[in-house]
Structure 1
Amino acid sequence: MDLKIGIIFLVQILIGILGNFSLLCHYISLFNAGRSRSIGLIFRHLTVANSLVILSRGIPDTMAAFGLKHFLSDFGCKVVFYVHRVARGVSIGTTCLLSVFQAITISPRNSRLAELKVKALKYIGPSSILCWILNMLVNIQVPMHVTEKWSNKNITTIDFKYCSATLHDKSKHLLNAVFISTPDVFCLGLMTWASFSMVFLLCRHKQRIQHIHGNNISPRFSPETRATQTILVLVSTFVSFYTLSSIFYIYFSLSGQSSRWLVNISAFINSCFPTTSSYILLSCNPCASGHFCACAGRNTPLPHLIRKI
C-alpha cells in the first residue's frame, strides 16, 4: 500500500510540474513576442508558487511512502513546511490577483472598475511581490511548531511521517491557525466575487451580440460559453480543494490526531489545485490582448466586443 501511495504522489508531482512548466513557457514566449506582458507576470509568479507547493511537500511525502527514514533534519523540516505554507499562500493570493485583474480588464466603460484599468497594469508587479512578503511574514511562526519526527519531546504532536508539528497549547495553536488562514479566506471571497462578476458580464455580453453569431456558431460552443465554463471550473476547483485542505488543517489543530490515511489524503489534496490549475488555464487559448479567459475563440474578436458592452 505504501508503494502505491508513493507512486500516486510521484505521478502527481510529474503531472503538476509538467503542467506548470508548460504554462510558464507559454507565457514567456508570449512575453518575448511583445504580448500579454501584464498577464504573463502574474502567471510567472503563479507557476513558481504552484511548483513550490507541489515540490515542498510532494517530494518528502513520496520519499516517506517509499520507506525512507531520517532524511530530514530539524532545520530541514522547518524549511519544508515554511516554504510550503508561503507558496500555498502566494498561490491563493496570485490566483485572486489574476481574477481581479481579469474582472477589471473586461469591465464595461461605464463601470467603476473601468477607471482602474490603466492603474491595474502598474500595480501588478508590486502586488505580486507584496503577496510574497506578506505570506513570509504571516507564516513566520510555522517553523516554531515543526520539528523532526524523531525528536523525543513529551508534548502532543501531529505525525506527518517524516516531520511532526508540535501542539504546546491547542487553543493558542487554533488561534494561530485562524490568523494564518484569514488572508486565504479573504482571497477566496474576493476571487469568487471577481470570477462571478466576469461570468455575469460574459453572459450579458453573449445575449447582446447573439445576433452577430447568428446560426453559424452553436450557443453551446460560443466563445462566451467556453469562457464562462473555464472561469466556473477554475473557481470551483480552487474553492473545493483549498476548502478541503483548510478543513484538514483545522482538524489536525483541534484534535492533535494524525492517522496515516488522513495525512496522505491531506498531502494529496494540498497539491491538487497547483497540479490541475495549469491545465485549466492552458485549456483556454490566450490571445494577443492577454485576456486568458475572454479569448476562448481564436478567430472571434471577443475582447474588442467586450469593450463595447
Structure 2
Amino acid sequence: MLRTPLCETLGIDVPVIGAPFGPFEEVEVAAAVCRAGGLGSVGTGGPLPALREQWTRLRQLTDRPFAVNHTMRPFNEEAFQATIEERPAAISFHMSVPADLVARAHEAGILWVQQVQDVREAEQAVRAEADVIVAQGGEAGGHGGEVSTMVLVPQVVDVAGGVPVVAAGGIADGRGLAAALALGAQGVALGTRLLASAEMNISEEWKQRIVASDGRDAVKVTQHDRVLPPFSRPGCHSVPRSLRTPFLDELEEHPERVDPALAGPQLMQAAREGRIHAYLPMAGQSAGLIRDVRPTAEIVRDVVDTAERILHGEVA
C-alpha cells in the first residue's frame, strides 16, 4: 500500500485527504474516506447544533482520524471553540493563515492542516507552525487562488522545510497523485472528484453536470462578493470556481443587474434547501477528468492503486 510521511503525521493509511464542502452535509462521504484509509473532512457552514450532531454521527461511523474545516468566509468563533472542545484529529483552514487559531488548536492537542494559495501564505503557514500545508492550485473548485497546481506545489515544497505538503486542484485520479508525489508533495486532497461520489449529499443533477463537463465550464466567479458572505478578517481574498449557470452568466456579464441585498440571501437559502446547483454549483477543472459517480471508497482505492502502479512503471 502506498504510504508517505504524511500518513504518519495524520495517523492515516493512504495519502489522501477528502476536501471539506462548505455548508453541505458530508458525514457519509467523510466517513467513507476515513474507512478507506484517508483523512475525511467536514465543514462548519451550518448552525452549531447541526454541526455537533454531524460530529457525533461521524464518530459513530468511524473511529479513524478526521478533520473539521473552518474558513474566513465567514469565521465562526462559536463553532471554532466547539471544535476545540470536540478535539478532532485535525482542524483544516483556508482563506488566511490565523496564527492565533493555530496556537489554540495545538494547545488542545489538535493538528493543523493549512490550505494556501501562494508562496506568501505558505511562508506564513510555516511560521505559524502548521502541521500540514495543502497547496491548492487555481484549478480547484470552490474558493481558491490563481497559481496552477503544477507551479504552486514545488514552490510550497521549497519553503515548507519538514512540513508535509499536500497537492490540491485539478486532481481526480491516480495520475494526479503520482504527479503530486513527483513534484515533492506527500499526498493529495480530492474535492470535485468526491462531489461526484455516491455518498455526497448534493443533488444528482449537480453530480451529472460534473460528469458531463469537459472542464471548460468550471470558471472563476469574479463577482462573488456581490452574492456570497463577506470575509470576516481584513486582507482575505479568494475567488471561487463554479460550473456555469444562467445566474452566474448574468452575475459576471451584468453585475449591476444583480442586487446583492436580494441575491445574497436567496443564494444562502438555496444552499440550505439543496438548490444551490441552480445558481453556483462549485466545481473545479478536474470535472473534465470525471466520467462517473462512484462510491467514495472505490474512488480512494483507485486513486492510490493507480498511482502506485504508475510509480512502479506498470502504467504508461
TM-score (norm 2): 0.21
Q: Which has the higher strand share?
A: 2
Higher relative contact order (CA 8 A, sep 6+): 1
Tell me which structure has the larger Cα radius of gyration.
1
Q: Which has the higher helix share?
A: 1
